[in-house]
Each structure stands twice: as structure tokens, then as C-alpha cells.
Amino acid sequence: MSNFDVIVIGGGPAGCYAGLIAATKGCKVAIFEEHGAIGWPRHDPGWLMESEFTKSVISSIGKAVPWTKVEEYRVCNSESGDLIEKSTRGGYVVRRDLLEKEIAALAVKAGVRLYLKTRVIKLIRKEGKVAGIETSSDIIPRAKGKIFICADGIRSSGSGFAVKEGLCARGEVKSGISYLLANADVSAGIIEHFLSSDPLLNYRCFFVHRKGLCILGLPSSEAFYELKEREDNIVSRKIKDAYPLEVNGFSRVTSGKYGKYFTNMVRDNIIFVGDASGGAGNIHGMIQGQFAGTVAASAIKDNDTGEERLSEYQDLVFNTLGKAPFFYFSAREDFGSFDDWFHEFEESTKGIEATTLARLR
Ligand SMILES: Cc1cc2nc3c(=O)[nH]c(=O)nc-3n(C[C@H](O)[C@H](O)[C@H](O)COP(=O)(O)OP(=O)(O)OC[C@H]3O[C@@H](n4cnc5c(N)ncnc54)[C@H](O)[C@@H]3O)c2cc1C
């Protein structure tokens, strides 16, 4: 049976980053991903919140991933178009599927074994700890590990390991559709975020990759065509002559609290990162991956993989990201304005950089 120091379940941004860091710190690492590709299906528009970490990711990836700097993040009324607030701390919009592939490629370069089309179906327990995994694959049906980094995403709190390990109650999965639109009335470098008391028009956000090309999330395909027909609001006007180039499903899970971390993110020798820890956000997930990979590697070195030692990871998350989680839907209520939320995130993550990424490229 294959033996690893660190086994990562899920090859999203949080899992790949955790694997990358643990491998560069000398661990024997495997990442298991159930899909046949890293970064695909893409369900997120690729907006990266601004922080020192984000800037260092962008400066490290060079030309491998196209990105656009967000000069202005605008929040407007959906019906009138009136500006409610704007911020110049908008961060970046990237091709997220390519960003994930790039991180995974660097993880492989650092020595990670990456297994696609390999679903982890079971954690094997021995003497109060997890000793290994069982997978859906004939190529590697079982593997042993010392520390398990659970990065199985938003479904973790629906039917995945966060529920199975008792970190949270089973949540209700709500789905939606993410459209990559061509010929929308949008401009490069501007994110427009619309608010309304009409649920169909509320929280409609245009993440712009370049002039005319953007990503918009909606509850259903009916909603897209209904919106296109309406004439009583600005969102409809923006997509009147637009058509989708890609239609991808996505899901949210209510018990994950969508961005608010679980009280416990470590159980025995399992570390939960990214959406699987109740959190959200690509940059938040990658920073969690950096913390998890670092703590896991030092715990392996000291031969101390107990819950207490691994909880150092949880403290790091709460003392930084926990002050400004990616809780998109209540950012204004929680922080007063988007700009204040962006500011708080930058402040609470000051000094955290993606130095390993830069070194590997
Ligand atoms: C509609 C929508 C829009 C969003 N927009 C943004 C945005 O613009 N910017 C931003 O920063 N964040 C955004 N988010 C949040 C962001 O997409 C997530 O926070 C991010 O993807 C979390 O990364 P992750 O690595 O934790 O999980 P995921 O990206 O979900 O990766 C988890 C991976 O684990 C795999 N997996 C699951 N179970 C198993 C298993 N048992 N065995 C093997 N593999 C498994 C999955 O296939 C998946 O590849 C958005 C989310 C949604 C739903």
C-alpha cells in the first residue's frame, strides 16, 4: 500500500496550495481529486480579493494565467443604476481554472503525487486516528498517511467529510448557474455589483475579464432568459445583447454558513481547509492551504500529529482570515461597506505572502 506523510482530499485551490507547501517543506504528499481535470468544471468567476498574498500570487504567475486588475468595485442600485458605494481595492479577476492548474503544476514540480478521477470514499480509522483512505480508483484503491488535509470543498458540509467527521450539521445544498457571457455591456477593470429588494436583481455581480466578457451567477437558466427580456432595470440592460459561452453549475451549502469558519477545523489528525472548513474564497482558501501545509510539515518533522499540535493551524486562521472571512452576502452588514471589508481583509492578512509560489516558478 502507498504510504504518504500528508494526504490531501480535493484538488481545488485550498487543497493544491496545502499540498504544494507541505511538499516544498519535505513531506511526501498525495492529492486526490475526483474530477478528470484540475480547475474544471469551473464554477467561480475568478475574482481574487486584494491582499499582500494576492499581489504576490499575481506577480508570481507571470503570463501563465491571464488577469485583469480591478480599478473600481462599484455597488449600485439594480433598478436605477445609482451608485451606492465604490472602492479602488477591487483586487483582480483571473481565469480561475488556469490558476488552479498552475498551482497544481507547481505542486507536482515540488514532488506531489496527483491522482485525478480518484474519489476518496472513506477514511480508515485506527486507534482514534485516521490511518489511511479508501478511494474509487483501481490504480490506488488505498493509501496510508500521517496527516489528512480535507479540502473537499463546499459539499463537505452537505455530504462530505465535514459532516461525516461531525464538524457541522448536514446543510441544504442550493444550486445555481454561472454564465461566461460574451457581448455584455461591461468594461474591463470594473466590477459592478447590483443590489435590489427584488431577489432576481439582488446581488447580481458582473466579474469582468475584459470588455464585453464577464461572469454572472444566476439561480437558473430561466432566470437568465427572464432577465434578458426585462426592461425595468440595469442588470437586464447589460445582458440584453449578451449570450453565454459557458454555462456551469455551482452549489452552496447553508450549514457551511458560507464564509464563517467552523468552530473546529481540526479533528484528530485531519485538518480542514477552504470551503470544507466552513470558509470560502480562493485567496482565503489558499492562505489556509499555506497555514495547513506549514503546520502539517512541522508536525511530521516533530513526529507529533495529534489534534492539539495541529490546532496551531486553527489559531492561525482565526487570528488572520477569521477577522474578515469571505462572507460575501453580508459584507455590508458585517463591515459597513465593501470598502471597509476589503480594508479589514488586507489589514488582517498583512505580511502573509505566497513566497513559495514565486520561488518555484
Ligand atoms: C457562485 C460562486 C461564486 C464564487 N465567486 C468567487 C469569487 O469570485 N472569488 C472567490 O475568491 N471565491 C468565490 N467563490 C468561492 C470559491 O469558489 C470557493 O471558496 C473555492 O472554490 C474554495 O476552494 P476549495 O479548494 O476549498 O474547494 P473547491 O474549489 O470546491 O475544491 C474542492 C475539490 O475537491 C474535490 N472533491 C470533493 N470531494 C472529493 C472526494 N471525496 N475525493 C476527491 N476529491 C473530492 C472536488 O471535485 C473539487 O475539485 C464563489 C463560490 C460560488 C459558489
Task: Identify the CATH number of the domain in which residue 79 sits.
Answer: 3.30.9
Residues 167 and 237 both lie in one domain: no
Residues 164 and 194 both lie in one domain: no
Q: Distance between CA atoms of 326 and 321, rounded to whole angstroms?
A: 9
The residues near 348 (Cβ < 8 Å, ≥ 6 apart) are 320, 321, 322, 323, 324
Residue 296's nearest CA partner among 284, 306, 286 is 306
Ligand 1 centre distance from Cα of residue 289 (Å): 13
The pLDDT-based confidence of 360 (bands split at 50, 70, 90) is confident
What residue type is assigned to position 43 of the chain? H
pLDDT digits (tens, 9 = 90+) for 25-77: 999 999 999 999 999 988 799 999 999 999 999 999 888 899 999 999 999 99
pLDDT digits (tens, 9 = 90+) for 68-107: 999 999 999 999 999 999 999 999 999 999 999 999 999 9
Question: Residues 343-354: what's their mean pLDDT?
Answer: 97
In a domain, 57, yes or no: no
In a domain, 51, yes or no: no
The pLDDT of residue 172 is 87
Q: Distance between CA atoms of 178 and 94, rounded to whole angstroms?
A: 15
Q: Which of 254, 276, 294 is the last residue of a domain?
A: 254
CB of 160 sitting under 6 A from ligand 1: yes
Confidence (pTM): 0.97
Cα radius of gyration rounded to whole Å, the chain: 20
In a domain, 53, yes or no: no
On the question of a cis peptide bond just before residue 219, with omega within 30 degrees of 0, the verdict is no
Residues 280 and 348 both lie in one domain: yes
Point out the ligand 1 atom lying closest to the alpha carbon of residue 119.
42
The pLDDT of residue 251 is 85
Residues 331 and 242 both lie in one domain: no
Ligand 1 centre distance from Cα of residue 11 (Å): 9
Q: Which three cell numbers stand for residue 113?
A: 503525487
Residues 262 and 304 both lie in one domain: yes
How many domains, in total, are found in the chain? 2
What average pLDDT does the structure give for the chain? 95
Question: Residues 283-309: what's their mean pLDDT?
Answer: 98
In a domain, 50, yes or no: no
Question: For residues 322 and 278, is the Cβ–Cβ distance under 8 A?
Answer: no
The pLDDT-based confidence of 256 (bands split at 50, 70, 90) is low
Ligand 1 mutation target, pool 282, 283, 349, most atoms within 8 A of CB: 282
Ligand 1 mutation target, pool 35, 154, 252, 253, most atoms within 8 A of CB: 154
| Three-state SS at 145 | coil
Residue where the block lists cell 499540498: 19
CB of 250 sitting under 6 A from ligand 1: yes
Residues 79 and 220 both lie in one domain: yes
| Three-state SS at 191 | strand
Domain enclosing residue 216, as ranges:
67-93+173-254
pLDDT digits (tens, 9 = 90+) for 214-231: 999 999 999 999 999 999
Question: For residues 184 and 242, is the Cβ–Cβ distance under 8 A?
Answer: yes
Residues 144 and 213 both lie in one domain: no
Q: On the CB side of 154, how many CA atoms lie within 13 Å of its CA?
A: 17
Ligand 1 centre distance from Cα of residue 277 (Å): 11
Q: Which of 254, 280, 297 is the last residue of a domain?
A: 254
- List the CATH number of the domain containing 166: 3.50.50.60
What residue type is assigned to position 121 of the chain? I
In a domain, 346, yes or no: yes
CB of 335 sitting under 6 A from ligand 1: no
Ligand 1 centre distance from Cα of residue 240 (Å): 30
Ligand 1 centre distance from Cα of residue 353 (Å): 21
In this structure, the residue with its CA closest to atom 6 of ligand 1 is: 44
- Of 217-221, 308-312, 353-357, highest mean pLDDT: 308-312
Q: Which of 254, 270, 302 is the last residue of a domain?
A: 254
CB of 34 sitting under 6 A from ligand 1: yes
The residues near 330 (Cβ < 8 Å, ≥ 6 apart) are none
Residue 233 has pLDDT above 90, yes or no: yes
Residues 218 and 351 both lie in one domain: no
Residues 89 and 118 both lie in one domain: no
Point out the ligand 1 atom lying closest to the alpha carbon of residue 284.
11
CB of 275 sitting under 6 A from ligand 1: yes
Residue 289 CA from chain centroid, whole number:
10
In a domain, 87, yes or no: yes
Residue 355 has pLDDT above 70, yes or no: yes
CB of 119 sitting under 6 A from ligand 1: yes
The pLDDT-based confidence of 361 (bands split at 50, 70, 90) is confident
| Three-state SS at 109 | helix
Residue 346 CA from chain centroid, whole number:
17
In a domain, 60, yes or no: no
Residue 188 has pLDDT above 80, yes or no: yes
